[in-house]
């Protein structure tokens, strides 16, 4: 069995529609590549109660929980405190995190009180390196807390993932047909039944007024996948 994961996106700006999230999709692809099965994504607002409840619901259910957002210096950045609350541990400015932050500033006064908030790390956490803007993320237990800014999030993901244990990578083959999916639904259902260890999906699209379908088979077993691909090519 592969390790499992959930992603928790934290931010009013996603729920208001102001921001189109891309961090979830980026991490989803990276996890698929390394054989960690992403089983759920949630988006919650910048409210401590909601973050705590979501973290507690997810961290017991999956091997890993990855969060994005709410670890900057401003008043609405409350993720670190929420994680500490979810785990029932203390949180304070930590010297190694403060030293990393300080390396950003030639004038020590620039490391003001609000910026120091970014060095507040829950007790027992390990830091996640941020080569883009220094302020670190952190892992506490199986919860990995990263920034919301995509450039920083993706850099933190690359710092974090090599240290996690992957599984059998999920491979996929995709066949595109220019027919509506209703045309191929019957042979596709038969194929799915014949290959229960291959996940076979059908993704319709509309392009320039034409209804087409992407047929996608996914499995960790390359041999099975090649057999299914051969069948898919005869369906079209």
Handedness of CA 188, 189, 195, 200 (dihedral sign): positive
Q: At its nearest, how many Å lie between its own copies and the CB of residue 155?
A: 10
Bridge partner list, 145: 67, 138
Q: Within positions 4 to 43, which residues make up the interface with its own copies, using CB under 8 A?
A: 9, 12-22, 24-32, 38-43
* Listed residue (126, 214, 227) closest to 177, CA to CA: 214
Would you count residue 203 as binding its own copies (CB under 8 A)?
Answer: yes
Candidates 121-129, 136-144, 200-208, 221-229 — which segment interacts with its own copies by CB under 8 A? 200-208
Considering only the stretches 60-68, 89-97, 175-183, 219-227, report the one whose residues sit in contact with its own copies under the rule CB under 8 A.
Answer: 175-183
- If the CB atoms of residues 92 and 110 are measured against its own copies, the closer one turns out to be 110
Among 84, 128, 152, 156, binds its own copies (CB under 8 A): 152
Contact predicate 47/2, CB 8 Å = no
Coil, strand, or helix at residue 183? helix
Burial of 90 (0-12, 13-18, 19+ CB in 10 A): exposed
Contacts (CB under 8 A) with its own copies, residues 95-114:
110, 112-114
């Amino acid at each position: 069995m592969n390790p499992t994961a959930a992603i928790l996106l934290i931010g009013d700006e996603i729920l208001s529609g102001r921001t189109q999230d891309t961090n979830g999709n980026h991490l989803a692809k990276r996890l698929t590549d390394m054989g960690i099965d992403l089983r759920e994504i949630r988006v919650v607002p910048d409210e401590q109660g909601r973050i705590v409840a979501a973290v507690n619901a997810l961290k017991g259910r999956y091997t890993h929980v990855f969060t994005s957002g709410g670890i900057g210096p401003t008043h609405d950045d409350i993720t670190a405190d929420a994680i500490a609350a979810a785990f029932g541990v203390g949180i304070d400015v930590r010297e190694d995190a403060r030293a990393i932050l300080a390396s950003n500033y030639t004038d020590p006064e620039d490391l003001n009180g609000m910026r120091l908030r970014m060095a507040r790390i829950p007790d027992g956490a390990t830091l996640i390196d941020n080569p883009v803007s220094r302020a670190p993320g952190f892992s506490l237990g199986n919860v990995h807390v990263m920034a919301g800014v995509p450039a920083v999030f993706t850099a933190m993901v690359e710092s974090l993932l090599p240290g996690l244990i992957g599984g059998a990578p999920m491979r996929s083959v995709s066949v595109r047909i220019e027919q509506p999916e209703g045309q191929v639904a019957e042979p596709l259902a038969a194929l799915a039944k014949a290959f229960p260890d291959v996940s076979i999906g059908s993704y319709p699209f509309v392009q320039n007024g034409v209804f087409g379908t992407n047929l996608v088979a996914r499995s960790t077993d390359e041999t099975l996948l090649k057999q299914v691909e051969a069948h898919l090519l005869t369906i079209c």
